Structure 1
């Protein structure tokens, strides 16, 4: 085994401070360098005689992938060392707790669990948009910034859609942390972003119940059980778990990838809007699948073969989150029908899309009085009913469509804030007929179209048809 550098050494201008961690495959040091204010760490692999082959290949993979990533959900890449000389990678130091720390903390509430995993799901969605599937999501690989933003670390087993998959080339058996490996990984399929959603479901189950849904197997036969066996439903272990949380957990843990959430963004949305989660049989299940279902899955697993996967970003493009902004207070049936027609075409084009219908109402001026609360609640309910009535001709299944009433004075800003917070990919908004006042003050649709963080489609009724 090559000797690790010592605290006080200097490597390529980086001064090694204290060693803060040493594992079986690498050591991590705090760093200092003139001209760098960002807190930094250096990760140095344990290379040499007797090293595990994953150490060599995984470190090279991490160097390649980390350099390609950006954003708040990954540690900033700073520098790397040549594998033939002194291998290392320098990255931003995230001085925050890990999800593993939270896992070991007793008494976490359901709200805490939902908040932590919603942050992780948002980070995963950002990673998938950058064409990376992590394939080793576990509590120790998730850190939190002071503002609660989740940061995903350790990319040694990851796959980038546009880089060589060195792990696949070097190993012909499942590679990863056994408790969190997805059924696809057991079958050596390493390109599906829904594998990370499965691991997310394992973590949710673990946080909610204190148990691992599939144990921690060490044999191939143990791995293969997750191809046909269900975990014990969480509510059978802990009856106080709400049905909406069990629905989300078991949806993430479906054996077939196509039966899981289509994107991590959908998981994040349901965890932050759990009152909108559509309950199926999963939510109230108290027993695992029967023998007949298990036998069918076992038989189906015998014939599953690897097939090409689209890049994660292309997969996400078939599962967009579409915000439909409805001006329910000023009903215009011709405009409503035009918006419905566009939504119908969007649903037909993208099989896994999620629709959220949103309307904005002004805050009640009597909000501090009991009568004001009653009036606001009544109006809120009325708006929900009106939106559901608008959507009825679309005949969408419950899990496809959600309804949200926002309360704000600035309509455009409320829509934009919702779009940013909930990973919206497209906004569909109707534009009402022009007027002198609207020309002077500007329209909501124009403001949204000019400043939205995503694609915007403004729907107009041809002027000749306006009554």
Structure 2
């Protein structure tokens, strides 16, 4: 198909060309319509003229395969595609604002950067769970809808765990956008969702400073420097960057992918809960690493073996968000049993993020007192008790957070938190049975019925005086 001969009003495989849009670097775009389709559509036509980069051809075939398999609100809806005789992809025309339009306003306030980052992280987690790594995440490939959610576009350089990786098969050199590629991508490794987390870290750095952490390198030799050289901390360019945001960004930009966030869901969690971010030396950093550290990385890289490919699912399975819903008024033996169950879960997923949650039940009508009989704030008192309960758990400080909610309906509060934070597994206790509980329905039963994830319910031992032996009822809800 000769893109130069296309004109408004022309029909291509049943799609009427309505208006030509701004071209991209590797494709032309037309707004199109089709009988029976009420939503606005866009046709993407790759530039396959003689002399064009062969990556354009391979990228078209890659995107055609991957986009057709993706679903959900964070990707354009796939409609149709043509073959190489008449190559095109028709998809939903996403209404919103490209993130690149905000670059001119950088540096942006920390709260806005966190909000945008959380939206993009949610979109990344969605495609990662569908076995796709984007591998070309940058502001021009992110659209922000009016409701604040993010949509990812342009999957020409992406990889799907269950499809052939044409990019890796046909190109010996690394591909991507120089300012955003992760260190492992430079080493031609295309199978880790944490590469997208690195690219999102570059984007957050850019939004909060107005500078790119690695500039705009064009040659592979320039790309390779990020294998041993860390960037300047964001606070060097913008002293108003809060420590929690610098901690998050620099963790995303760690050279060693094992030191980054284990999943986009965990990154989103921290961006939405800045008060719970555990600060390390990253937060106070004012300069790059010293020459000795940099040389040590360079020397280590020379002896490093090739990176071994792993499935995206394998990476995500090692890094779930686990929620412990703790009833602090329950008997001690039930609390102990929950602790035992949690240790078992955490032993199998060492990279898990643990959220310890307690619900402070309040009245639906009456105003609850702000202090208890001893003059203490009940909310803060519960938080102290929750931290005390969790102290023996084998979890690193940066992987555990504490949350106390006030709600007249504890089950709904637990389910809502799980849904809003991409929780993968809830561990909670169930008190003893009674006629009233059977009539009203226990909190644990309601959570099992409504939760969007696996729920493990731990019960008290048969004899409260004996060592508790937790029994679990596991209910997967999708």
Deviation at 1:19, TM superposition (A): 0.7
Deviation at 1:406, TM superposition (A): 1.0
- Which deviates further from its counterpart, 215-224 or 264-273? 215-224
Counterpart mapping for 1:302-451 below 5 A: 302-328=302-328, 330-363=329-362, 372=370, 378-451=377-450
**1:368-409 Cα distance to aligned partner (Å, 9 max, x none):** 89x738999811111111111111111422112111111111
Cα distance between partner residues in 1 of 2:305 and 2:26: 32
**1:330-364 Cα distance to aligned partner (Å, 9 max, x none):** 13111111110111111111111010000011347
Residue 78 (structure 1) aligns with? 79
Cα distance between partner residues in 2 of 1:245 and 1:49: 47
**1:297-340 Cα distance to aligned partner (Å, 9 max, x none):** 11112233333322212210110100100011x13111111110
- Which deviates further from its counterpart, 157-166 or 23-32? 23-32
Residue 476 (structure 2) aligns with? none
Q: Would you tell me which structure has more helix in proportion to its own residues?
A: 1
Counterpart mapping for 1:157-176 below 5 A: 157-176=157-176
Deviation at 1:271, TM superposition (A): 0.4
Deviation at 1:8, TM superposition (A): 1.4
Give 3-state SS (helix, strand or coil) of 2:402's partner: strand
Tell me if 1:9 matches 2:13: no
Residue 464 (structure 1) aligns with? 463
Cα distance between partner residues in 2 of 1:3 and 1:424: 47
Deviation at 1:203, TM superposition (A): 0.5
Cα 1:106–1:67, aligned 2, differ >3 Å: closer, same or farther?
A: same
Deviation at 1:103, TM superposition (A): 2.0
Cα distance between partner residues in 1 of 2:276 and 2:268: 12
Tell me, yes or no, if the aligned pair for 1:366 and 1:373 is still in contact at 8 Å: no
Structure 2, unaligned runs of 5 or more = 467-478
Structure 1, unaligned runs of 5 or more = none
Cα 1:207–1:377, aligned 2, differ >3 Å: closer, same or farther?
A: farther
Tell me, yes or no, if the aligned pair for 1:98 and 1:143 is still in contact at 8 Å: yes
Tell me if 1:96 matches 2:96: yes
Cα distance between partner residues in 2 of 1:373 and 1:213: 48
Cα distance between partner residues in 1 of 2:435 and 2:7: 73
Residue 469 (structure 2) aligns with? none
Counterpart mapping for 1:153-232 below 5 A: 153-232=153-232
Residue 64 (structure 2) aligns with? 63
Give 3-state SS (helix, strand or coil) of 1:428's partner: strand
Cα distance between partner residues in 2 of 1:16 and 1:292: 59
Tell me, yes or no, if the aligned pair for 1:367 and 1:373 is still in contact at 8 Å: no
Tell me, yes or no, if the aligned pair for 1:364 and 1:372 is still in contact at 8 Å: no
Give 3-state SS (helix, strand or coil) of 2:91's partner: strand
Give 3-state SS (helix, strand or coil) of 2:97's partner: coil
Give 3-state SS (helix, strand or coil) of 2:426's partner: strand
Deviation at 1:104, TM superposition (A): 2.2
Cα distance between partner residues in 1 of 2:426 and 2:16: 49
Residue 38 (structure 2) aligns with? 37
Deviation at 1:7, TM superposition (A): 1.9
RMSD of Structure 2 on Structure 1 (CA): 1.9
Deviation at 1:366, TM superposition (A): 10
Q: How many residues align?
A: 464
- Which deviates further from its counterpart, 157-166 or 214-223? 214-223
Cα distance between partner residues in 2 of 1:373 and 1:35: 61
Cα distance between partner residues in 1 of 2:441 and 2:100: 50
Residue 453 (structure 2) aligns with? 454
Give 3-state SS (helix, strand or coil) of 1:21's partner: coil
Residue 470 (structure 2) aligns with? none
Cα distance between partner residues in 2 of 1:73 and 1:393: 39
Tell me if 1:240 matches 2:240: yes
Deviation at 1:222, TM superposition (A): 0.9
Cα distance between partner residues in 1 of 2:451 and 2:148: 24
TM-score (norm 1): 0.96
Cα distance between partner residues in 1 of 2:304 and 2:363: 57
Cα 1:391–1:303, aligned 2, differ >3 Å: closer, same or farther?
A: same
Cα distance between partner residues in 2 of 1:127 and 1:23: 23
TM-score (norm 2): 0.93
Give 3-state SS (helix, strand or coil) of 2:298's partner: helix
Tell me, yes or no, if the aligned pair for 1:366 and 1:372 is still in contact at 8 Å: no
**1:213-262 Cα distance to aligned partner (Å, 9 max, x none):** 01111122211110111111111221111000000000000000101110
Tell me, yes or no, if the aligned pair for 1:335 and 1:460 is still in contact at 8 Å: yes
